[in-house]
A and B are shown apart, each in its own frame.
Chain A
Amino acid sequence: MRTNLMLSAVGAFVLLAAGAVLLPDWAMFLCAMALAKGLVSLGIVGMMRGGLVSFGQGLYYCLGAYTATLVAGQLGVSDIFLLTLLSAGVCLVVGALFGPLLAGYRGIFFAMLSLALSMVLYGTLAKLTVLGGTDGLNIGAPTFFGWDPEGRALQTALYLYVAVLVVVAGTLMRIYFDSEQGLITLATRDNELRVEYLGASVRTVMSYNYVFGAVLGGIGGTIAALALGHVDPEFAFWTTSGEFVFVAILAGYLSVPAVFVAAIILEMVRSFSNLYFPNTWQLALGIFLLIVIVVLPNGLGSLVRRRKGDAT
């Protein structure tokens, strides 16, 4: 199993890396953004396995993005590794603070509370004119251990960096999902009471899931900020969080790679519908989402599992 996993991880990386050579500039950027957003959605999938949906992952996406921007702007740090680590660290701390609190709630209460937290951040940032208010802030291009690429080289480096992060994060999450804790999460989805009676603490497991989601959200936000060169409070707005949830639902909770495929598909559909139907692109996007939900109620991941005929 472990060997298989490692092989898949290497395979996935080779595939993603091939994109760096094959993809045209615009598609590489689109994929880098989609993968960054996929990381955030992966965090939601971790919670979805336990039957919880966070409508507030924008909190960590935004927190990560602003941490990177402020550190880069105020302290002059431009190293992408350092920025990612710092943002992930900040999100880890904040996630660890809110995690145990939110882990006590289920269903709509969990969703609404997480949403409320992200909207508090949104409101605060929108009011803070020193941080650019609703117009946001710019962040310069990142460096890689002192290397300062430009143009296509920068895009390629950024894309490969995201690809590495995605493969590492995906592999780690898979290992976690298959671990004892991860399986308890899955069992919680079916019957929380029974899990508690068997002696496991659902609250602890959910806290872990939440914190992992927070860290992934922060990393995704950092990458997005660096790729875009701009952050604004919209990162924490509920529509942004809703998009992450949508990718998670599109992917389903069964497969990790499906999350990233779903993220890329969503970006592609949006980009092309925006171009070909400038006046009705929301309608095109909506119809696409409806079709997916109707045809694949368990998400893209169910395509794989259905064929394998096993229902882990």
Chain B
Amino acid sequence: MNSTSKKFAGALTALALAAGAAGPVAAQDDTFKIGVITFLSGQAAESFGVPAWNGGKVLVDMLNEGGKLPAPYDQKGFGGMNIEVVLVDEAGGATKQVQEFRNLVQREEVDAVVGYVSSGDCLAVPPVADELKAFTILYDCGTPRVFEDNTFEYVFRTAAHATMDNVSLARYLKSRDVAIESFAGLNQDYAWGQDSWADFTGAMAQLYPDAVVKTALFPKFGAGQYGTEISALLRERPTLVHSSNWGGDLQGFVIQATARGLHERSQIVLSAGDHVIPQLQQKMPEGIYLGARGVNGLAAKARGGELQELTDTLWDAYEAEFGVFPVQAPFRMWQALLGLKTAVEKAMAENGGKKPTNEELAAAMKGLSWDAPSGRIEMALADGHQAIQPNAIGTTKWNAEKGAMELIDIEYFDSRCVNPPAGVKSADWIAQGFPGAQCD
């Protein structure tokens, strides 16, 4: 027994020493160190994590060089400081992410954390961020619960939550006067799919009170095979089929549904469908209504206006580097990093040019608004911690000349048209018929 405990003692000491030896490398004053967490493996890597970080890398490189972007983003790095990145894989669940978050803050001593695609991670990390007083930006995840169920001091989400995705779809249908007698849904069986369907049916109940819900299908997350579900949808003949699927699940559904002619019988609407266009190309049927969770990807490119230069600069750099055009994920990473840049520079203007503390950063970020390729981002909800942004829905059309999928009939929705006003929970806002919505 004794020798066992000695062994145990030895091992623990060794671990303690190893822990001590691998001490943190604190960032210098001329460097701003950010921890970036996004999916580098697993299902969400190909659709969101990897493109997001590809976009992030392009932007960070351009910022570190300085003067590559149009004003107000022409200053080098963050307020002149070089940006250093510690990249972490988001795969592995919320347990692992909380651990990794602590490691980033306490071991790597990053100045800010930017991350999280998964809603579960976005719910698990903020309490820890507040406990450690660590400035944190949630850049992608959708669930409105983060700030509707809780308040946080040091946590900000620079992307609109998921409510606008489905509200915009319903508004698009209404404004184009699409007649809808009945609709059905095919969504992944986890929080994202369940919430999206609830939002969509809620919004439809307001705008199309007479439309009948035919069937709500919830195949397993990652199912990939939708033979049975497509048969059910073909048999039910709804006017419209809604899906919030993403990634491989969306590709699988679209390919299998098209092969059996579902898109000819029913109008297909996809709340987050833009990101599979580069992979599917002409396998994506024409006439699908789809969104990109913001004015992202093709909708941003087609928008024009004063943000065109910023959008084109990043778009071209991304396309040149990776040989594919940027879809929604890099746009959300860009708006997060540009927001962080704006906040850092604002805080530095106030503190006399020193590297800002977490408190100064949080104060600067609160209620901030800035321009990104995806439009004007305003931290308008949850006491300045939750962003709202404009959204766009378009219709797919194959351009045979260019050999590329295009979006036509794009409708742009104002932030305040498709996002709830401050202090109202999204579910209540939809159920009450969008009070306070400002649409033009």
Question: Chain A residues in contact with chain B, CB under 8 A?
Answer: 1, 4-5, 7-8, 11-12, 15-16, 18-19, 22-27, 29-30, 33, 126-127, 129, 132-136, 138, 140-141, 150-151, 154, 174, 224, 228-230, 232, 234-235, 237, 240, 255-258, 260-261, 264-265, 267-268, 270-272, 274-275, 278-279, 281-282, 303-304, 307-308
Distance, CA A105 to CA B18, complexed state (A): 43
Q: Which of B190-226 touch A at CB < 8 Å?
A: 190-191, 194, 221
Against A, the Cβ 8 Å flags (1 = close, 0 = not) of B78-122 are: 000000001111011111101110110111100000000001100
Q: Which B residues are in CB contact (< 8 Å) with A23?
A: 16, 19
Chain A residues contacting B23 (CB-CB under 8 Å) are 24
Q: Which A residue sits closest to B133, measured CB to CB? A: A151
B26 at the interface (CB under 8 A from A): no
Report whether A268 and B18 are in contact in the complex, using a CB–CB cutoff of 8 Å.
yes
With the chains together, A135 CA to B145 CA distance in Å? 10
Quick one: closest A residue to B105, CB to CB? Answer: A26
Given A29-B102, A275-B86, decide whether A138 and B127 contact each other with a Cβ distance below 8 A. yes
Query: How far does the alpha carbon of A140 sit from the alpha carbon of B126 in the complex, in Å?
Result: 12
Chain B residues near A135 (CB-CB < 8 A): 119-120, 123, 143, 145, 191
Name 6 interchain pairs, CB-CB below 8 A, sorted by A: A12-B9, A126-B189, A138-B123, A228-B94, A260-B8, A279-B40
Q: For the complex, what is the distance from the CA of A260 to the CA of B221, rounded to whole Å?
A: 34
In the complex, which residues of chain B have a beta carbon less than 8 angstroms from the beta carbon of A136? 94, 120, 123-124
Enumerate chain A residues within 8 angstroms of B221, measured Cβ to Cβ: 134
Residue of B nearest to A262 (CB): B11
Contacts of B19 in A (CB 8 A): 23-24, 27
Contact B102 A25 (CB under 8 A): yes
Q: Say whether B7 faces chain A, with CB atoms less than 8 Å apart.
A: yes
- Give every chain A residue within 8 A of B11 (Cβ-Cβ): 261, 264-265
CB distance from B397 to the nearest CB of A (A): 35
Additional pairs, 7, CB under 8 Å, beyond known A16-B12, A29-B99 = A7-B2, A29-B102, A138-B149, A138-B150, A141-B131, A274-B100, A279-B89
Residue B128 CB within 8 A of the other chain: yes
Output the nearest chain B residue to A4 by Cβ-Cβ distance.
B1
Q: Assess the A228–B12 pair: CB atoms within 8 A.
A: no
> Which residues on the A side are within 8 Å of B96 (C-beta)?
270, 274
Q: Which residues of chain A are within 8 angstroms of B131 by Cβ–Cβ distance? A: 141, 150-151, 154, 229
Q: For chain B, which range describes its interface: under 10, 10 to 19, 20 to 34, or 35 or more residues?
A: 35 or more
Taken together as a complex, chains A and B put the C-alpha atoms of A237 and B8 apart, in Å, by 30
Whether B123 pairs with A230 at a CB distance below 8 angstroms is: yes
Residues of B within 8 A of A (CB): 1-5, 7-9, 11-13, 15-16, 18-20, 22-23, 40-41, 86-89, 91-96, 98-100, 102-103, 105-108, 119-120, 123-124, 127-128, 131, 143, 145, 149-150, 189-191, 194, 221
Assess the A12–B8 pair: CB atoms within 8 A: yes
Question: Which residue from chain B places its CB closest to the CB of A270 in the assembled complex?
Answer: B96
Q: Are A11 and B5 in contact (CB under 8 A)?
A: yes
Residues on B with beta carbons closer than 8 Å to the beta carbon of A257: 4-5, 7-8
Q: Is the pair B124, A228 in contact by a Cβ cutoff of 8 Å?
A: yes
CA distance A270 to B150 in the complex (A): 31
List residues of chain A with CB within 8 A of the CB of B1.
1, 4-5, 7-8, 174
A222 to B425, CA, bound (A): 31
Evaluate whether A228 and B95 lie within 8 angstroms (CB atoms) in the complex, with A8-B1, A135-B119, A278-B89 already known: yes
Answer whether A261 and B2 are a contact pair too, CB < 8 Å, given A232-B124, A234-B95. no
Return the contact of B190 from the options A26, A134, A282 (Cβ within 8 A). A134
Sorted from nearest, which 6 A-B pairs have the closest CB atoms?
A230-B124, A257-B8, A26-B106, A8-B5, A134-B190, A27-B19
Report the separation of the CA atoms of residues A291 and B254 in the bound assembly, to the nearest whole angstrom: 43
Closest to A229 in B: B127
Nearest B residue to A1 via CB reads B1
Distance in Å: Cβ of B401 to nearest Cβ of chain A: 38
Q: Are A278 and B88 in contact (CB under 8 A)?
A: yes
Q: Which of A18, A281, A304 contacts B7 (CB 8 A)?
A: A304
Most chain A beta carbons < 10 A, residue from B8, B98, B143, B149: B8
Assembled-state Cα–Cα distance A26/B107 (Å): 6
**Do the beta carbons of A268 and B88 come within 8 Å of each other?**
no
State how many angstroms separate the Cβ of A255 from the closest Cβ of chain B.
5
Which residues on A sit within 8 Å (CB–CB) of B127?
Answer: 138, 140, 229-230
Select which of B86, B102, B194 is within 8 A of A133 by beta carbon.
Answer: B194
Write out the residue numbers on chain B whose beta carbons fall within 8 Å of the beta carbon of A22: 16, 20
* Cα separation A150 to B11 with both chains bound (whole Å): 30
- Cα-based distance from A106 to B332 in the complex (angstroms): 51
Q: Provide the residues of chain A in CB contact with B5, threshold 8 Å.
A: 7-8, 11-12, 257
Task: Give min CB distance, B36 to chain A, whole Å.
Answer: 9
Q: Which residue of A lies closest to B5 (CB)?
A: A8
Verify B4–A304 contact, CB threshold 8 A: yes
Bound-state Cα–Cα, A195 to B329, Å: 61
Task: State the Cβ distance, A225 to closest chain B Cβ, in Å.
Answer: 10
Instruction: Kindly name the residue among A129, A230, A234, A270 whose own CB sees the greatest number of chain B CB atoms within 10 A.
Output: A230
The interface residues of chain A lying within 8 Å CB-to-CB of B16 are 18-19, 22-23, 27
Smallest CB separation, A237 vs chain B (Å) = 8
